[in-house]
Structure 1
Amino acid sequence: MSRTPEIEKRFVHQVYDAIAPHFSATRFAIWPAVASFLGALPAGSLVLDAGCGNGKYLFSHPSSLFLGCDICPPLARICAARGAEALVADATRLPLRPLLCDAALSIAVLHHLSTEPRRRAAVAELVRVLRPAGRALITVWAREQEDQSKLAKWAPLQEAAAPPRPARPLDRIPEEDQEFLVPWHVPFHRAEVGSAAAADGLARRDDRKGAVVFDRYYHVFKQGELQRLVEGVENAVIVDQFYDKSNWCVIIQKI
């Protein structure tokens, strides 16, 4: 797999490194689709959460064993401080032996990868570390958002050079746009990410909202795109696919 593209380094890695404490504080709810997937696993299953964030799923199903990894060192440290087994790792190059896991999660990860080969490589890595008949749940943001007004608040990547970026009418967002910079607002009182991030150009101040604003890269998936991506990966079949809460989701099984 090729080197990490600069767009991911700046608008994914550096941003999540900076916002990790605030991001973690907002991530506590357990998604029912994930709970259902984990609840169907046999007791004692070893589950990999590739892109585990603050580790909220690593404690969500006590009859399974969990291993988490994330590209963001501050988030991995948050997981470790909570008592989870977590390591810093790239989802496209997992430092794990083949056939290790009974199941895997990839929740809201693939849409942060900026090329199709990298997204396919991340799926292939999940399949590689699964045991035969092991299953993985993969979710990504959908281009077909339930609340279409959200798209007007996102900046198409090709227009991202000149903030501020006011919301645009929905009829001016081309349907082919799938690459966006999505804002993350950190209140001024969260001192751990304060003025330094704005000073070095990683974020911008929004005095009206009283926040420092970071932009995160997303490739949002159109209907059928995730299925086609998975179908291009060897030794994997789709056993379920669905749309839930503005996400496209698939469950794959290793064959």
Structure 2
Amino acid sequence: MNEVKICGASSLCTPISDGESHIPQSVLVSTDQRCSSSSVQYTPEIEKKYVHRVYDAIAPHFSSTRYAKWPKVATFLNSLPSGSLVLDAGCGNGKYLGLNSGCFFIGCDISAPLINICADRGHEVVVADAVNLPYRSGYGDAAISIAVLHHLSTGSRRKKAIDELVRVVKKGGLVLITVWAVEQEDRSLVDKWTPLTEKYFEEWIGSSSPHARSSPSITLESIPEAEENSLGEHVKGFKDLTSQSQDPLVTSENGQNLENQQEFFVPWHLPYHRAEVSGASACALANGLAKKDDKKGAVVYNRYYHVFSEGELERLVSGMGNAVVVDRFYDKSNWCIVLQKTI
């Protein structure tokens, strides 16, 4: 089996190996450099529990459902010049790696089980955090982030992930980003999602943050991004979530108001026949991370999503001095932008 390197913040800096590395050391930023930034050291608890742990648990089943390529992504990749090096941040099971046979691809994802799937398929991959990419600045000719940013729980983390995508490409390099849209084509799907409410607030920020000392009434475990603005952003987001207008026409099937709602739990149904052979599912059921649905014969996991409103991606990049938006479009319930690095 190929080596899978673990890169990123906090403890995610130790390689695990039973073979030769697929990625030359010259490609990667040094461990000290990757781990020195306090702004990406802390991951919000909601992402740890409802993104990282969930995708680790459902990886084989998730991968089996991810094989169709989005035409717009395929068009972007096939438009790149022959010989281009493409960095896929949040590559999942690697369905886009190698799509353009004339280009070279390197993928990364926070989920080690998904990266192991990619490595078994012969792809050049590494486990890494989207807000702290392990690549040297200006290394790639292009980068893609497909359905990743909506799993980051604050605006500062989403902006940092975009900054990282631009950082790792060369001047003139292109970056394609896609995210789930608030404006879903099939509104019946939204009815199956769970809007986040007050009961999830403590899991959003956690108890080991320095803010816990000055805010004893709030249980904190971790904070994202710079300390001076993270708590205020979380509190603002929480107030936004709990102060929606009470329009009875915009509700979920359980009667919850969805006007302007952007934070959701989206269920993933892992069939019993797959869950029975998964120790992760047994643990998830025991600790409350998942629940059984006997009617559907599945273990149900909740995945955290921040769905994007029209123009939100553009607003995140509006202050960037090293990139411009060269294309924007809506495709299959996703907002998408293409950036070009200018300096």
User: Structure 1 length normalisation: TM-score?
Assistant: 0.94
Matched, 1:223 2:262: no
Distance of 1:31 and 1:192 partners within structure 2: 31
Identity within the alignment, %: 61
Partner of 1:52: 91
Counterpart of 2:47 in 1: which secondary structure? Answer: helix
Deviation, 1:86, is 0.4
Q: Does 2:241 correspond to 1:202?
A: no
Letter in 2 for 1:104: A
1:214 aligns with 2:253: no
Report which stretch shifted further, 43-52 or 150-159. 150-159
Q: Is the aligned partner of 1:135 residue 2:219?
A: no
**Which residue of structure 1 aligns with residue 20 of structure 2?**
none
Q: CA deviation at 1:170?
A: 9.1
1:84-128 CA-partner distances (Å, limit 9, x unpaired) = 000000010011110100000000000000000000000000110
Which of these residues, 238, 246, 266, is aligned with residue 182 of structure 1? 266
Determine which of 61, 75, 96 is the counterpart of 2:135: 96
The match for 1:26 is 65
2-side partners of 1:170 and 1:215: how far apart?
16
Correspondence for 1:126 among 141, 151, 165: 165
Mapped contact 2:195–2:258 kept (Cα < 8 A): no
Whether the aligned pair in 1 keeps the contact of 2:195 and 2:256 (CA below 8 Å) is no
- Code of the residue aligned with 2:96 in structure 1: it is Y
C-alpha contact 1:151 1:170 (8 A) present in aligned 2: no
1:249 aligns with 2:249: no
Contact 1:120–1:233 (8 Å) recurs in 2: no
Aligned position for 1:149: 188
In structure 2, give the amino acid aligned to 1:73. A
The 2-side partners of 1:171 and 1:10 are apart by: 26
The number of aligned residues is 250
Secondary structure of 2:292's counterpart equals strand
Structure 1 stretches of 5 or more lacking a match? 162-166
Structure with greater Cα Rg: 2
- Larger proportion of strand: 1
Q: Match of 2:340, SS?
A: strand
1:26-63 C-alpha deviation (Å, 9 max, x unpaired): 10011101110011100010000000000010021111
Cα distance change on mapping 1:20 and 1:155 into 2, 3 Å: same
Task: Give, in whole Å, the separation in 1 of the partners of 2:57 and 2:199.
Answer: 20
State whether residues 88 and 105 of structure 2, in contact with CA within 8 Å, keep that contact through their aligned partners in structure 1.
yes
Work out which of the residue numbers 81, 84, 99 in structure 1 matches 2:120.
81
Structure 1 residue 160, shift from structure 2 partner: 6.6
For residues 37 and 240 of structure 1, the distance between their equivalents in structure 2, rounded to whole angstroms, comes to 11
Supply the AA of the counterpart residue of 2:57. A
Q: Report how far residue 149 of structure 1 moved.
A: 1.3
Change (3 A) 1:249 1:170: farther
TM-score, normalized by length of structure 2? 0.70
| Structure 2 runs not aligned, ≥5 long | 1-38, 201-250
Shift of 1:198: 1.3
Q: Distance in 2 between matches of 1:246 and 1:171?
A: 23
**What is the CA-CA distance between 1:168 and the residue it aligns to?**
3.1
Q: Which moved more, 1:228-237 or 1:244-253?
A: 228-237
Contact 2:252-2:258 within 8 A present in 1 as well: no
Q: Distance in 1 between matches of 2:112 and 2:54?
A: 12
- The 3 A distance-change label for structure 1 pair 210 and 170 is closer
CA shift for structure 1 position 77:
0.7
